[in-house]
Amino acid sequence: MSNGNMFGSRPAETLGGKLWRVPWGVLAVAALLAATGTATLFSVAGGSMEPWAAWHAARFLAGLGLVLAMAMVPVGVWVHLAYPAYALALLVLALVPVLGTEALGARRWIAIGSTSIQPSELMKVALVAALARYYHWLPAAEVSRPRRVAVPLLLIAAPLALTLRQPDLGTSVLFAVTGLGIVMLAGTSWLYAAAGGLLAIAAAPAVWNGLHAYQRRRIEIFLDPDRDPLGAGYHITQSKIAIGSGGVSGRGFVEGTQSQLDFVPEKHTDFIFAIFAEEWGFVGAVGLVGLYALLVLLLLGMAWQAGTTFGRLVVSGVAIGLFVNAFVNMAMVSGLVPVVGVPLPFVSHGGSALATMLGGLGIALSAHVHSGRSLRRSALGRLW
């Protein structure tokens, strides 16, 4: 039945009606995490809003308005933009080796005027949306057919391969885990997962030989940090000292010696959790972990309530991405996994990473706000 709304089956709603259905608890938890990041960035700068804290707060507040604007957009718009956004993100990612700038031994950023973007961050949201769209119109009986499984695997493999070339092992792992998580949640047979696991084990020697020397070194240092405490093992050694010195209740705000004396490298980005744990101790660290757990649970609750396959999978994908990013970062700085370049969501300084998380939240909120609306099968959708 047509009512003039190409994306829904009900008359257009008022802005107030949509705002009423916004899950404000999700935004409140995200704001608490961003406030935690702002305070920690204030601390690592020696008690100053410059150069990181003020920018972090301003970016989040501006992004919060964008999230609400995205939430008001009918979810069907994001469905139809999913493939073009993926194609554009893949193109920009492919241009990184040509146009990208090098920093810390890797070429991951593209400079645009006085700022720069990290295309792999933008791909995190584009990949989730593209996979969710693919499965939205795919009948359940078709999901596990080999030719149907091949398409999402190719969607995952393309950005994964390009990111490995930069090289960026951490983001590549995130692509693989988030993408495969969506594939399994879509109803794909677990036999594929078992076969993939066996293949990964068999390919482990080849993967090891294919790693860059510094990547193999990181794994070796992970297994034995004392092998080179002043060289390759310096980051993780200082990070664990900072976490351990925090004790139960921490040293106090702006009182962390590891951060104030600049012992911890990358203290405003990848290793910010170590600084937070030193200042607020075990209690503060558990509280921060609790905020991430709460946000993931709220997102999973939204996915459970989603009225469409696209909504369920896109919200689940955002939740998986958030969980994996947070887990890998905190486990990395604690010495539980090898060191990889993964920021702490909403807390670490970084415009591209923050934009990615906020963009994902915007699409997830749109799916929730419009969960009662049906998505029609379009001619473009039938291509798959």
Looking at 186-250, list the stretches that DSSP marks H as alpha helix, in order from N- to C-terminal side: 190-210, 213-223, 234-245
Confidence of residue 376 (pLDDT cuts 50, 70, 90): very low
**130 in Cβ contact with 310 (< 8 Å):** no
> Where are the domains positioned within the chain?
23-383
Which DSSP string do the residues of 23-51 spell out, in sequence order?
-HHHHHHHHHHHHHHHHHHHHHTTS-STT
Question: Rounded to 5 degrees, what are φ and ψ at 15?
Answer: -60, -40
Angle formed at CA 367 by CA 361 and CA 372, multiple of 5 degrees: 155
What pLDDT digit, counting tens, does each position of 144-194 carry?
A: 898 999 999 999 999 999 988 877 878 888 999 999 999 999 999 888 888
Mean pLDDT for the stretch of residues 275-288: 94
Does residue 99 register a pLDDT over 90? no
**131 in Cβ contact with 152 (< 8 Å):** yes
Instruction: Identify which has the larger pLDDT, 206 or 158.
Output: 158
Q: Which residue has the tokens 């957009």?
A: 73
What region does 54 belong to: left with phi over 0, alpha with psi -120 to 50, or beta?
Answer: alpha
Confidence of residue 262 (pLDDT cuts 50, 70, 90): confident
**31 in Cβ contact with 64 (< 8 Å):** yes
Residue type, 3: N
Does residue 138 register a pLDDT over 70? yes
**130 in Cβ contact with 86 (< 8 Å):** yes
**pLDDT the model gives residue 347:** 94
Predicted TM-score (pTM) of the model is 0.87
Does residue 220 register a pLDDT over 80? no
Q: How far is CA 380 from CA 79, 84, 374, in A?
A: 10, 11, 16
Q: Is residue 115 helix, strand or coil?
A: strand
Edge-first strand listing for the sheet containing 115-117: 101-103, 106-112, 115-117
Mean pLDDT for the stretch of residues 40-44: 93
**pLDDT the model gives residue 374:** 44
Q: Which residue has the tokens 């949201």?
A: 125
Question: Rounded to 5 degrees, what are φ and ψ at 267?
Answer: -70, -20
